[in-house]
Structure 1
């Protein structure tokens, strides 16, 4: 039986990234590579040095993206520009090169907007790829499915022999979780979204959210139905919900697991995909 994916590399990289978010590494590098992850709920910038090691990072919860699409173009540019400036001051350098990512299957709809946001914030764009494929730059999965459950969408990449053979996206994600919490607890949406992000509430929330988690499981089933998938890895901010993977595994009846902090997998994968080859 094929060995299951080991998250050692992924978890170590994320631990390094979490450390440099708090304490950036200011040693000079000949070049810096930045990953810009424009999420529905959170915008993340991950900065790597010339050896593709984490040196700094920053993130901000925002609502400039909806269902994977940029809905507040000016707001998105402003946030990325502000995070870029914050990191440049911490590193005492100019950040030139950046890569970005889009939900799978949406390149004809939104790739131009993502490109313009990154360039509008002052970066030279060097790479634009789909989110689950970016995540696999960190996961190093050979065979199976990478499922990126973000704030607005659930994106799935099917991999065989380390190559992506199919990508698809569905407009269901953490926003729907927050709507359920809002209705169940009588909270405003933003309050429900914040309540969901607090780990101490997860045990209480899991039974409340099980129906919508099962819906995500059904979406995954539809995405992988025609492929031989023996393992599913969950990434994305919504995948941080404690116990979510067990509910999905029960629904899809396929071994399902996730790294320690799924939120930072995709932005780090985007950064690892960054080069010095500018896209015009």
Structure 2
């Protein structure tokens, strides 16, 4: 998994940029942007024409449910803030961006994502499906990419560099939140905070483990078409025991990159054309 090691290095560098631990020096260059309108957060990633990471930022949101934009203006306002913040930091205007949607969510979803990007001040250069974006960043030609976001589990199976199968089901991080909320009898916003509390991870994971097993069972249903390696990405995979639980149910070796929540946003930016 040499490619995964290289990806992990890039993801660690990108995390430092997002956390403000590395500052980007302003200079004139061609910039490309990726917009990930997620159920729990909106992420903006910026690359140069050589795929070097320039900038990244995110903001939590409630504007998207199950991969579908349900609050158009909230999404636009968040993305505008992220764009303005990025341009101030980089010292250069961001003119174009590519977006993404869960697999098989249709032309309507594509149009809405495109409209959010355009309304926020970008020229939208395209909308790709999320697991395909993740695979581009990971340089996967053969394998199964499982993109577990806030609202959906998206699966794309690749064979010889071509898409063999695409599946999407409405089970994601938000369903973990619902289970937590029901178990602890607390509102969803409190359950979401509890889910992200690293100090209570063991306790939380014990409660949401059946959701992870269901995610794995979605992939398992695709046998014998599942191709190795199986790689899980997305913010909902950020639990220490996630991979072990997923492997036990799926019965395949499973890999998870470092900072899996940033894999898809970086892949999306790579689809913004270099020669515009």
Tell me if TM exceeds 0.5: yes
2:17 to 20, 24, 40: 20
**How far, CA to CA, are the matches of 2:41 and 2:249 in structure 1?**
28
Q: How does 1:180-259 map to 2 (within 5 A)?
A: 180-222=179-221, 224-259=222-257
**How far, CA to CA, are the matches of 1:35 and 1:63 in structure 2?**
19
**How far, CA to CA, are the matches of 1:24 and 1:169 in structure 2?**
37
CA distance 1:276–1:127, shift in 2 (3 Å)? farther
* Superposed displacement of residue 198, structure 1: 2.5
Q: How does 1:32-111 map to 2 (within 5 A)?
A: 32-111=31-110
CA distance 1:231–1:215, shift in 2 (3 Å)? same
Corresponding position of 1:269 = 267
Corresponding position of 1:7 = 4
Of stretches 228-237 and 96-105 in structure 1, the one that deviates more from structure 2 is 228-237
* Superposed displacement of residue 6, structure 1: 4.2
**How far, CA to CA, are the matches of 2:108 and 2:244 in structure 1?**
33
Task: Calculate the TM-score normalised by the size of structure 2.
Answer: 0.94
Show CA shifts across 1:216-265 (max 9, x none): 1111112x224142321000110112211111111111111201111000
SS in 2 for 1:151: coil
Are the counterparts in 2 of residues 150 and 174 from structure 1 also a CA contact under 8 Å? yes
**How far, CA to CA, are the matches of 2:9 and 2:84 in structure 1?**
27
| Unmatched 5+ stretches in structure 1 | none
**How far, CA to CA, are the matches of 2:206 and 2:224 in structure 1?**
30
Are the counterparts in 1 of residues 35 and 97 from structure 2 also a CA contact under 8 Å? yes
Are the counterparts in 2 of residues 64 and 71 from structure 1 also a CA contact under 8 Å? yes
* Superposed displacement of residue 5, structure 1: 6.3
Runs of 4+ displaced beyond 3 Å? none
Are the counterparts in 1 of residues 26 and 91 from structure 2 also a CA contact under 8 Å? no
Are the counterparts in 1 of residues 145 and 157 from structure 2 also a CA contact under 8 Å? yes
SS in 1 for 2:258: coil
User: What is the RMSD computed on CA atoms of the aligned residues?
Assistant: 1.5
**How far, CA to CA, are the matches of 2:165 and 2:266 in structure 1?**
22
